[in-house]
Amino acid sequence: MDEQRIEIPKVVYQGEDRKLKERVSKFKSGSFRIAVFTVVGCIMGAYSHIYTSVGFLPIKVILAIPYKINEAIYVSIIGTDSTKQNWYWNFTEFFPHSIIATFLAEVCTTILIGGAIYGSLAYFSGDKRVFTLGRYMKFGAVWCAVILTAVGASYFVNAKAVYDNENLKGDPVFTVVNSEGRGCGIGGGEDGNSVKEIFYSELEERAVARDFKGELPLRIVFDSVRYCVCGVNYEKQYLVTEKGRTYHISAEFAQIIRRYEEEGVMMPEGVGIEIIK
């Protein structure tokens, strides 16, 4: 084979190294700017719920954008429990059944959306040769994945909370809801523990013919983070969950509820009360 080489003259770069490294330095400064904008965006997202109380219009708009996008995702596009309210609920949280899910949805996701929006603004203000649309697609895809993970996590946490509520799992605190925003409840401590023991003593899932008129709304908070409102019929000794699962309750617990309705206090023998106003 022809092994004789062709003499191709050497080419040496005569310009400044700074010129060849220009895009690298632009990338470094642009990345720093994106990081700063992202952090600021996250802070904006964290405080975006106060946009209604801000008077200065530009700040109001900057704050409102992450909040409104978050609201659009949860309320308009997917839908939350608060958009499917029944007569028990009068809350505005995205996930009235779970404080953790609501925190993920209303705070964490808004922070991430703020970071993504203002990080993207910094991206597009960078050198067009370095921060190209093709590279932005990756940047945007990562943000979408992170935000969707947070959204998915909040729905998962809520679904788990609803499932646990339906099974009446956890450490409960009871409140008989007697009017909007007011109720009569039994909290923690020894008194609360006595009621819990009474509640769980004969609790058993059992099919019963419901008597809707005799059901009193009983709000139960499990483990301080999960909420549900059940119906209790002390005459027929049953409790019905939000999804219609019926449980037999002990006569003693039914007596507590009866006593509340007749005397206005929720106080079995030897058990103290806490009035929530």
Partner 1 sequence: MKFAAAYEQCRDSVYGYLTYMTRDETLAEDLSQEVFLRMFLHLDKFRGEASVRTWGLRIARNVFLSYAKRKKPVLLEEKEWEEVPDGSRSQPEEEALKKEKAGEIHRCLMCLSEQERTILLLRDFEELSYEEIGRIMGFTPEVVKSRIYRARQKFRRIYEGGTN
In the complex, which residues of this chain contact partner 1 (CB under 8 A)? 1-2, 4-13, 15, 17, 19-24, 27, 129-130
Q: Please report where in the chains the tokens 């219609």 appear, as a residue.
A: 244
Nearer to partner 1, 127 or 164 (CB): 127
Distance CA 175, CA 164 (A): 18
CB of 38 to partner 1, least distance (A): 18
CB of 20 to partner 1, least distance (A): 5
Distance CA 27, CA 200 (A): 62
Quick one: three-class SS letters along 106-172?
Answer: HHHHHHHHHHHHHHHHHHHCCCCCCCCHHHHHHHHHHHHHHHHHHHHHHHHHHHHHHHHHHCCCCCE
CB of 2 to partner 1, least distance (A): 5
SS3 content of the chain, % helix, strand, coil (to 5): 55, 15, 30
CB of 14 to partner 1, least distance (A): 9
Identify the bridge partners of residue 17 per DSSP, sorted by sequence position: none
CB of 135 to partner 1, least distance (A): 9
Distance CA 85, CA 124 (A): 41
- Other C-beta atoms lying within 10 Å of the C-beta of residue 78: 14
CB of 16 to partner 1, least distance (A): 11
Burial class (CB in 10 A: 0-12, 13-18, 19+), 53: exposed
Q: Is beta strand 172-179 parallel, antiparallel or unpaired with respect to 182-186?
A: antiparallel
Nearer to partner 1, 31 or 250 (CB): 31
Nearer to partner 1, 28 or 169 (CB): 28
Nearer to partner 1, 15 or 58 (CB): 15
Nearer to partner 1, 4 or 53 (CB): 4
Nearer to partner 1, 23 or 206 (CB): 23
